[in-house]
Chain A
Amino acid sequence: MSFPEIFSLEQLAAGLAAGEFTAVELAQECLDRVAARDGSIKAFLEIDSEKVLTAAAESDARRAAGKPLSAWDGIPVGIKDCIATAGERCSCSSKILEPVKSPYDSTAVARLRQAGFIPFGRLNMDEFAMGSSCENSAIQKTANPRDITRVPGGSSGGSAAAVAGGMVPAALGSDTGGSIRQPASFCGITGMKPTYGRVSRYGLVAFASSLDQIGPMTNSVLDSAILLDVMAGKDPHDSTSLAVPAGGFADAARAGRDLKGMKIGLPKEYFQAPGMDPGVSAIMQESIERVKSLGAETVEVSLPHTKYAVAVYYIVATAEASANLARFDGIRYGDRIEGRDLVETYFRTRGAGFGDEVKRRILLGTYVLSSGYYDAYYLRAQKVRTLIRRDFEEAAKVCDLLLTPVTPSVAFHFGEISDPLQMYLSDIFTIALNLAGNCGISVPAGVDKATGMPVGVQFLAPALEEAKLFRAAAAFEGAVR
Chain B
Amino acid sequence: MDTPGIDVEYVAQLARLEIAPEAMPKLRSDMAAIVGYIAELQEVDVEGVEPTAYAVPLSNVWREDSAGESFPRGDMLANAPALVDDTLIKVPQVLPGEGIN
Contact = CB atoms under 8 A, between A and B. Distances in A.
Interface of A: 99-101, 103-104, 195-197, 210-211, 236, 239-240, 242, 305, 308, 310-312, 314-315, 322, 326, 329-336, 338-348, 350-352, 354, 356, 359-360, 362-364, 366-368, 370, 376-377, 379-387, 389, 419-421, 424, 434-438, 463
A240 B79 contact: no
A17 to B, nearest CB: 36
A341 B96 contact: yes
Given A314-B38, A332-B80, A346-B16, A383 B49 contact: yes
Contacts of A437: 54-56
Interface size band for B: 35 or more
Interface string B12-37: 10111111100100010011011101
Task: Give the interface centre of B40, B51, B75 by most chain A CB atoms within 10 Å.
Answer: B51
B89 A345 contact: no
Contacts of B8: 363
B51 A308 contact: no
Overall SS of chain A's interface:
helix
Task: Give the interface centre of B38, B78, B79 by most chain A CB atoms within 10 Å.
Answer: B38
Contacts of B27: 356, 359-360, 363
Contacts of B55: 196, 210-211, 385, 389, 434-438, 463
10 contacts: A103-B79, A240-B56, A311-B38, A311-B40, A351-B17, A364-B31, A377-B38, A379-B51, A382-B53, A383-B49
Given A364-B34, A421-B37, A436-B55, A333 B11 contact: no
Given A326-B16, A332-B80, A386-B49, 7 more contacts: A240-B58, A332-B79, A350-B16, A363-B8, A380-B42, A420-B33, A438-B55
Nearest to A365: B15
B94 interface: yes
A322 B91 contact: no
Contacts of B95: 341
Q: Which 9 A-B pairs have the closest CB atoms?
A: A437-B55, A351-B18, A382-B51, A333-B79, A336-B81, A383-B46, A239-B61, A347-B18, A346-B16
